[in-house]
Structure 1
Amino acid sequence: MKATSLLAAIVLAGVSLHAAAADNCTVRIKANDAMQYDIKTATVSASCPTVTIELTHTGKMPVAAMGHNVVVSQTVLYDAIARDGLKAGAAAGYLMKNDSRVIGATAMIGGGQNAKATFPGSRLKPGGDYAFYCTFPGHATLMRGKLVVVK
Protein backbone atom coordinates (compact mmCIF):
# COMPACT_ATOMS: atom_id res chain seq x y z
CA MET A 1 0.00 0.00 0.00
CA LYS A 2 2.74 2.46 0.94
CA ALA A 3 4.65 1.80 -2.30
CA THR A 4 1.49 2.48 -4.32
CA SER A 5 0.87 5.78 -2.50
CA LEU A 6 4.48 6.83 -3.01
CA LEU A 7 4.32 5.96 -6.71
CA ALA A 8 1.07 7.92 -7.10
CA ALA A 9 2.63 10.94 -5.38
CA ILE A 10 5.67 10.81 -7.66
CA VAL A 11 3.49 10.55 -10.78
CA LEU A 12 1.28 13.46 -9.66
CA ALA A 13 4.34 15.60 -8.88
CA GLY A 14 5.75 14.87 -12.32
CA VAL A 15 2.45 15.75 -14.01
CA SER A 16 2.17 19.05 -12.14
CA LEU A 17 5.77 19.99 -12.95
CA HIS A 18 5.15 19.23 -16.63
CA ALA A 19 1.96 21.30 -16.58
CA ALA A 20 3.80 24.25 -15.04
CA ALA A 21 6.50 24.06 -17.70
CA ALA A 22 3.95 23.72 -20.49
CA ASP A 23 2.08 26.85 -19.37
CA ASN A 24 5.21 29.01 -19.45
CA CYS A 25 4.49 32.19 -21.40
CA THR A 26 7.46 34.30 -20.24
CA VAL A 27 11.08 33.85 -21.30
CA ARG A 28 13.67 35.53 -19.08
CA ILE A 29 17.11 36.05 -20.59
CA LYS A 30 20.21 37.68 -19.15
CA ALA A 31 22.98 39.04 -21.37
CA ASN A 32 26.44 40.22 -20.34
CA ASP A 33 29.47 42.18 -21.56
CA ALA A 34 31.07 38.94 -22.85
CA MET A 35 28.46 38.62 -25.66
CA GLN A 36 26.59 35.77 -23.96
CA TYR A 37 23.02 34.91 -23.10
CA ASP A 38 22.58 32.90 -19.91
CA ILE A 39 20.39 30.32 -21.69
CA LYS A 40 20.69 28.39 -24.96
CA THR A 41 17.13 27.03 -25.06
CA ALA A 42 13.79 28.45 -23.92
CA THR A 43 10.43 26.68 -23.92
CA VAL A 44 6.99 28.24 -24.25
CA SER A 45 3.53 26.75 -24.56
CA ALA A 46 1.55 26.97 -27.79
CA SER A 47 -1.46 27.73 -25.60
CA CYS A 48 -0.04 31.11 -24.50
CA PRO A 49 -2.26 33.94 -25.70
CA THR A 50 0.76 36.24 -25.36
CA VAL A 51 4.46 35.44 -25.08
CA THR A 52 6.68 37.82 -23.14
CA ILE A 53 10.44 38.15 -23.55
CA GLU A 54 12.24 39.81 -20.62
CA LEU A 55 15.86 40.82 -21.21
CA THR A 56 18.27 41.94 -18.49
CA HIS A 57 21.70 43.27 -19.48
CA THR A 58 23.88 42.34 -16.50
CA GLY A 59 26.98 44.04 -17.89
CA LYS A 60 28.23 47.60 -17.45
CA MET A 61 29.09 48.66 -21.00
CA PRO A 62 26.85 51.22 -22.75
CA VAL A 63 24.49 50.32 -25.57
CA ALA A 64 26.78 51.88 -28.20
CA ALA A 65 29.65 49.55 -27.23
CA MET A 66 27.89 46.35 -26.10
CA GLY A 67 24.18 46.65 -26.82
CA HIS A 68 21.93 43.61 -26.71
CA ASN A 69 18.40 42.77 -27.75
CA VAL A 70 16.41 39.59 -28.22
CA VAL A 71 14.81 38.92 -31.59
CA VAL A 72 12.59 35.89 -32.24
CA SER A 73 12.06 34.48 -35.73
CA GLN A 74 12.05 31.25 -37.65
CA THR A 75 15.58 29.86 -37.40
CA VAL A 76 16.10 29.87 -41.16
CA LEU A 77 15.57 33.67 -41.21
CA TYR A 78 17.93 34.70 -38.41
CA ASP A 79 20.99 35.38 -40.61
CA ALA A 80 19.05 37.55 -43.10
CA ILE A 81 17.32 39.51 -40.32
CA ALA A 82 20.63 40.16 -38.53
CA ARG A 83 22.29 41.18 -41.82
CA ASP A 84 19.42 43.55 -42.65
CA GLY A 85 19.69 44.92 -39.11
CA LEU A 86 23.21 46.11 -39.92
CA LYS A 87 21.76 48.15 -42.80
CA ALA A 88 19.10 49.58 -40.48
CA GLY A 89 21.85 50.88 -38.18
CA ALA A 90 22.18 51.90 -34.56
CA ALA A 91 19.37 54.46 -34.62
CA ALA A 92 16.94 51.66 -35.52
CA GLY A 93 18.34 49.29 -32.88
CA TYR A 94 19.89 47.14 -35.62
CA LEU A 95 16.50 45.90 -36.71
CA MET A 96 14.55 46.83 -39.84
CA LYS A 97 11.38 48.74 -38.98
CA ASN A 98 8.19 46.66 -39.29
CA ASP A 99 10.08 43.58 -40.49
CA SER A 100 7.32 41.00 -41.01
CA ARG A 101 9.86 38.16 -40.57
CA VAL A 102 10.36 39.15 -36.92
CA ILE A 103 7.95 37.43 -34.55
CA GLY A 104 8.97 39.54 -31.56
CA ALA A 105 11.85 41.73 -30.43
CA THR A 106 12.99 43.73 -27.44
CA ALA A 107 14.64 47.12 -27.67
CA MET A 108 18.43 47.34 -27.83
CA ILE A 109 19.77 48.00 -24.31
CA GLY A 110 23.08 48.63 -22.55
CA GLY A 111 24.57 47.48 -19.26
CA GLY A 112 22.27 47.65 -16.25
CA GLN A 113 19.13 48.06 -18.36
CA ASN A 114 16.06 45.88 -18.87
CA ALA A 115 13.69 45.46 -21.81
CA LYS A 116 10.46 43.60 -22.34
CA ALA A 117 8.55 42.66 -25.48
CA THR A 118 5.31 40.78 -26.03
CA PHE A 119 3.86 39.15 -29.10
CA PRO A 120 0.84 36.96 -29.86
CA GLY A 121 1.44 33.32 -28.99
CA SER A 122 -0.49 32.40 -32.14
CA ARG A 123 2.60 33.40 -34.16
CA LEU A 124 4.34 30.25 -32.86
CA LYS A 125 3.40 26.72 -33.84
CA PRO A 126 4.28 23.57 -31.83
CA GLY A 127 7.27 21.83 -33.38
CA GLY A 128 8.25 24.92 -35.39
CA ASP A 129 11.92 25.80 -35.76
CA TYR A 130 12.45 29.13 -33.95
CA ALA A 131 15.52 31.01 -32.77
CA PHE A 132 16.21 33.94 -30.48
CA TYR A 133 19.30 36.10 -31.04
CA CYS A 134 20.93 39.53 -30.71
CA THR A 135 21.18 41.76 -33.79
CA PHE A 136 23.94 44.08 -32.50
CA PRO A 137 26.75 43.91 -35.11
CA GLY A 138 28.70 40.66 -34.79
CA HIS A 139 26.61 39.26 -31.93
CA ALA A 140 24.13 36.97 -33.73
CA THR A 141 26.59 34.13 -34.26
CA LEU A 142 27.44 33.90 -30.54
CA MET A 143 24.27 35.20 -28.92
CA ARG A 144 21.78 32.75 -30.28
CA GLY A 145 19.44 30.14 -28.85
CA LYS A 146 16.55 27.87 -29.69
CA LEU A 147 12.93 28.64 -28.82
CA VAL A 148 10.95 25.42 -28.36
CA VAL A 149 7.16 25.56 -28.62
CA VAL A 150 5.29 22.74 -26.91
CA LYS A 151 1.58 21.82 -26.95
Structure 2
Amino acid sequence: MSLRLVAATFALAGMSFNAHANTECDISVDANDMMQFSTKTLSIPATCKEVTLTLNHTGKMPTHSTGHNVVIADTANLQAVAMDGMSAGLENSYVKPNDVRVYAFTNVIGGGESTSVTFSTEKMTQGGDYSFFCSFPGHWAIMQGKFEFK
Protein backbone atom coordinates (compact mmCIF):
# COMPACT_ATOMS: atom_id res chain seq x y z
CA MET A 1 0.00 0.00 0.00
CA SER A 2 1.44 3.37 -0.97
CA LEU A 3 2.06 6.12 1.53
CA ARG A 4 -0.44 8.34 -0.31
CA LEU A 5 -3.18 5.71 -0.02
CA VAL A 6 -2.53 5.33 3.70
CA ALA A 7 -2.61 9.11 4.18
CA ALA A 8 -5.85 9.38 2.17
CA THR A 9 -7.44 6.59 4.22
CA PHE A 10 -6.59 8.35 7.48
CA ALA A 11 -7.81 11.66 6.10
CA LEU A 12 -11.16 10.14 5.14
CA ALA A 13 -11.46 8.44 8.53
CA GLY A 14 -10.79 11.78 10.19
CA MET A 15 -13.37 13.56 8.05
CA SER A 16 -15.93 10.90 8.88
CA PHE A 17 -15.22 11.25 12.60
CA ASN A 18 -15.46 15.04 12.42
CA ALA A 19 -18.75 14.89 10.54
CA HIS A 20 -20.15 12.64 13.28
CA ALA A 21 -18.79 14.86 16.03
CA ASN A 22 -20.44 17.92 14.46
CA THR A 23 -23.86 16.26 14.09
CA GLU A 24 -24.11 15.52 17.81
CA CYS A 25 -23.67 19.27 18.37
CA ASP A 26 -26.50 20.10 15.95
CA ILE A 27 -29.98 19.89 17.46
CA SER A 28 -33.42 20.78 16.22
CA VAL A 29 -36.90 21.19 17.60
CA ASP A 30 -40.29 21.75 15.99
CA ALA A 31 -43.03 24.08 17.28
CA ASN A 32 -46.67 24.13 16.17
CA ASP A 33 -49.80 26.29 16.25
CA MET A 34 -50.97 24.49 19.41
CA MET A 35 -48.06 26.09 21.34
CA GLN A 36 -46.16 22.83 21.69
CA PHE A 37 -42.54 21.88 21.14
CA SER A 38 -41.88 18.46 19.61
CA THR A 39 -39.79 17.44 22.63
CA LYS A 40 -39.46 18.21 26.32
CA THR A 41 -35.68 17.65 26.34
CA LEU A 42 -32.84 18.91 24.15
CA SER A 43 -29.54 17.25 24.95
CA ILE A 44 -25.97 17.80 23.82
CA PRO A 45 -22.72 16.27 25.04
CA ALA A 46 -20.41 18.42 27.16
CA THR A 47 -17.75 17.91 24.48
CA CYS A 48 -19.63 20.36 22.23
CA LYS A 49 -17.87 23.71 22.31
CA GLU A 50 -20.33 25.17 19.83
CA VAL A 51 -23.95 24.17 19.17
CA THR A 52 -26.25 24.84 16.26
CA LEU A 53 -29.92 24.88 17.23
CA THR A 54 -32.58 24.83 14.52
CA LEU A 55 -36.23 25.70 15.11
CA ASN A 56 -38.91 24.62 12.62
CA HIS A 57 -42.39 26.17 12.94
CA THR A 58 -44.62 23.40 11.58
CA GLY A 59 -47.83 25.40 11.92
CA LYS A 60 -49.50 27.92 9.65
CA MET A 61 -49.99 30.93 11.93
CA PRO A 62 -48.01 34.12 11.09
CA THR A 63 -45.19 35.50 13.22
CA HIS A 64 -47.19 38.36 14.75
CA SER A 65 -50.03 36.14 16.06
CA THR A 66 -48.45 32.81 17.01
CA GLY A 67 -44.77 33.11 16.33
CA HIS A 68 -42.23 30.96 18.15
CA ASN A 69 -38.59 31.10 19.10
CA VAL A 70 -36.26 29.16 21.38
CA VAL A 71 -34.43 30.79 24.27
CA ILE A 72 -31.89 28.97 26.46
CA ALA A 73 -31.31 30.16 30.02
CA ASP A 74 -30.71 28.85 33.52
CA THR A 75 -33.94 27.28 34.77
CA ALA A 76 -33.90 29.63 37.78
CA ASN A 77 -33.99 32.63 35.39
CA LEU A 78 -36.63 31.34 32.95
CA GLN A 79 -39.60 33.34 34.23
CA ALA A 80 -37.63 36.57 34.73
CA VAL A 81 -36.08 36.34 31.25
CA ALA A 82 -39.51 35.68 29.73
CA MET A 83 -41.15 38.58 31.58
CA ASP A 84 -38.36 41.00 30.61
CA GLY A 85 -38.58 39.75 27.03
CA MET A 86 -42.23 40.69 26.65
CA SER A 87 -41.40 44.40 26.75
CA ALA A 88 -38.48 43.91 24.32
CA GLY A 89 -40.95 43.44 21.49
CA LEU A 90 -41.05 41.34 18.33
CA GLU A 91 -38.19 43.35 16.76
CA ASN A 92 -35.93 41.88 19.49
CA SER A 93 -37.50 38.38 19.31
CA TYR A 94 -38.99 39.04 22.77
CA VAL A 95 -35.55 38.85 24.38
CA LYS A 96 -34.20 41.82 26.33
CA PRO A 97 -31.22 43.16 24.34
CA ASN A 98 -27.84 42.05 25.74
CA ASP A 99 -29.48 39.94 28.46
CA VAL A 100 -26.53 38.16 30.12
CA ARG A 101 -28.91 35.51 31.53
CA VAL A 102 -29.54 34.20 27.99
CA TYR A 103 -27.10 31.70 26.51
CA ALA A 104 -28.75 31.68 23.08
CA PHE A 105 -31.97 32.48 21.26
CA THR A 106 -33.43 32.17 17.80
CA ASN A 107 -35.47 34.73 15.94
CA VAL A 108 -39.25 34.54 16.24
CA ILE A 109 -40.68 32.80 13.17
CA GLY A 110 -44.11 32.05 11.77
CA GLY A 111 -45.70 28.95 10.32
CA GLY A 112 -43.69 27.12 7.67
CA GLU A 113 -40.45 28.93 8.55
CA SER A 114 -37.17 27.71 10.04
CA THR A 115 -34.34 29.52 11.78
CA SER A 116 -31.04 28.54 13.37
CA VAL A 117 -28.58 29.95 15.87
CA THR A 118 -25.03 28.81 16.56
CA PHE A 119 -23.72 29.52 20.04
CA SER A 120 -20.77 28.80 22.32
CA THR A 121 -21.17 26.59 25.39
CA GLU A 122 -18.18 28.28 27.05
CA LYS A 123 -20.29 29.80 29.86
CA MET A 124 -22.27 26.61 30.50
CA THR A 125 -21.36 24.00 33.10
CA GLN A 126 -21.67 20.28 32.49
CA GLY A 127 -24.77 19.05 34.32
CA GLY A 128 -26.08 22.59 34.91
CA ASP A 129 -29.79 23.27 35.29
CA TYR A 130 -30.84 24.81 31.95
CA SER A 131 -34.16 25.22 30.20
CA PHE A 132 -35.34 26.15 26.73
CA PHE A 133 -38.57 28.02 26.12
CA CYS A 134 -40.50 30.21 23.70
CA SER A 135 -40.45 33.86 24.80
CA PHE A 136 -43.38 34.96 22.62
CA PRO A 137 -45.75 36.65 25.13
CA GLY A 138 -47.69 34.04 27.08
CA HIS A 139 -46.03 31.03 25.45
CA TRP A 140 -43.23 30.47 27.98
CA ALA A 141 -45.61 29.12 30.62
CA ILE A 142 -46.32 25.96 28.58
CA MET A 143 -43.67 25.97 25.85
CA GLN A 144 -40.62 24.91 27.80
CA GLY A 145 -38.35 21.97 28.40
CA LYS A 146 -34.97 20.91 29.77
CA PHE A 147 -31.72 21.72 27.99
CA GLU A 148 -29.14 19.13 28.99
CA PHE A 149 -25.42 19.77 28.68
CA LYS A 150 -23.97 16.47 29.84
- TM-score, scaled to structure 2: 0.83
Question: Could you tell me how far apart the structure 1 residues matched to 2:91 and 2:148 are?
Answer: 31
SS of equivalent to 1:116: strand
Amino acid at match of 2:149: V
Unpaired runs of at least 5, structure 2: 1-19
Offset, 1:127: 1.0
Runs of 4+ in 1 over 4 A off after TM superposition: none
Work out the number of aligned pairs and report it: 130
State the match for 1:12 in structure 2: none
Q: What are the equivalent positions in structure 2 for 1:49-64 lying under 5 Å apart?
A: 49-64=49-64
State the match for 1:85 in structure 2: 85
Question: Could you tell me how far apart the structure 2 residues matched to 1:91 and 1:51 are?
Answer: 24
Offset, 1:98: 1.2
Question: Could you tell me how far apart the structure 2 residues matched to 1:123 and 1:86 are?
Answer: 25
Question: Could you tell me how far apart the structure 2 residues matched to 1:37 and 1:26 are?
Answer: 17
Share of identical aligned residues, percent? 44
SS of equivalent to 1:34: coil
Amino acid at match of 1:119: F
Deviations 1:47-93 (A, max 9, x none): 11201110000000000010000000100001000000111122222
Deviations 1:8-53 (A, max 9, x none): xxxxxxxxxxxx79x8212210000000000001111111120111
Unpaired runs of at least 5, structure 1: 1-19
SS of equivalent to 2:69: coil
Amino acid at match of 1:87: S
SS of equivalent to 1:122: coil
Question: Could you tell me how far apart the structure 1 residues matched to 2:143 and 2:66 are?
Answer: 12
- TM-score, scaled to structure 1: 0.82
